[in-house]
Amino acid sequence: MKRRHFLELSISAAALAITARGADNSPTGGQRAARGFRVGAHNDRRQEDLLIMGGRFDLKLSGRDTGGDLCIYDTFRESKGGPALHRHFFQDEWFYVIRGQFIAQVGEDALTLAPGDSAFAPRNIAHAFAMVSEGEGQMLVLFQPAGSMEDFFGQMAKFGKEIPKNQEVVMKQLFVDHGMEVLGPPLKF
């Protein structure tokens, strides 16, 4: 199956699961976009430049569009590394690699991810990932439900583009404020 078709199928399946869920616990009060829209390549849904953790995060689908059910970022990474080991109390997280090589730890499982590979990190399960290849990497990151992840990334952008040293200490309260818990340092590779 071609990567594009796999991605379209995966996103469609997530959308159907959200629709079937039916409950509205969203911070947007369940308000959804009234019509379709297009977000171009290398563009952000809100025309923001979020330079975070060694790269750029482009919001492609906002929780505001989905009644809080889902948000998707297209991330472009220029440097190796990634976030501290953490867990989300309210969001599942899904990663889909487009370019580059990544490693991910989800619970006790160490996963190697190449273009076309994906990984799922269920809520309440410790996880972290890191780009391990040279050059630019690209990975889609999906959060379901969206929760306050968009605000989290907006706040993270204030730390600057580079991966903060000692991020597991420096960002601990930011994680707590957004329904997450830092459990350890970033992955070593």
The pLDDT tens digits of the residues spanning 114-141 come to 999 999 999 999 999 999 999 999 999 9
Q: Decide if 59 is inside a domain.
A: yes
CB atoms within 10 A of CB 188: 7
In a 3-state reduction of DSSP, which class is residue 47? Answer: coil
Q: Is residue 1, in this structure, part of any structural domain at all? A: no
Q: Which residue segment(s) compose the domain that 134 sits in?
A: 52-183
What sign has the CA pseudo-torsion 45, 50, 53, 54? Answer: positive
Which is nearest to 88 in space by CA: 17, 14, 143, 21? 143
Question: CA dihedral in degrees (27, 31, 21, 18; nearest 10)?
Answer: -90
| Sign for the pseudo-dihedral over CA of 146, 147, 148, 153 | negative
- Assigned domain for 60 exists: yes
From the list 83, 76, 46, the residue with the least C-alpha distance to 61 is: 46
What is the reported pLDDT for 18?
44
**CA-CA distance, 136 to 147, in Å (whole number)?**
28
Q: How confident is the model at residue 26 (pLDDT cuts 50, 70, 90)?
A: very low
Q: Report yes or no on 65 lying in a domain.
A: yes
pLDDT digit string (tens) for 47-74? 988 998 888 999 999 999 999 999 999 9
Residue 40 lies in a domain: no
What's the structural domain count of the chain? 1
Give domain status of residue 16, yes or no: no
Tokens found for residue 163: 């991966």
Least confident of 23-32, 90-99, 142-151: 23-32
Q: How many CA atoms lie within 13 A of 35 on its CB side?
A: 2
Count CA within 13 A, CB hemisphere, residue 41: 1
Q: Are 107 and 61 in contact (CB under 8 A)?
A: no
What is the structure's pLDDT at 7? 54
Is residue 19, in this structure, part of any structural domain at all? no
- What CATH number does the domain containing 89 carry? 2.60.120.10
Q: Which helix (H) or strand (E) holds 11?
A: helix 3-21
Cα–Cα distance, 6 to 155 (Å, whole number): 32
Is the per-residue pLDDT at 23 higher than 90?
Answer: no
In a domain, 102, yes or no: yes
Instruction: Tell me the two tokens of residue 20.
Output: 């079937």
The pTM score is 0.82
When computed from its CA atoms, the radius of gyration of the chain, rounded to whole angstroms, is 16
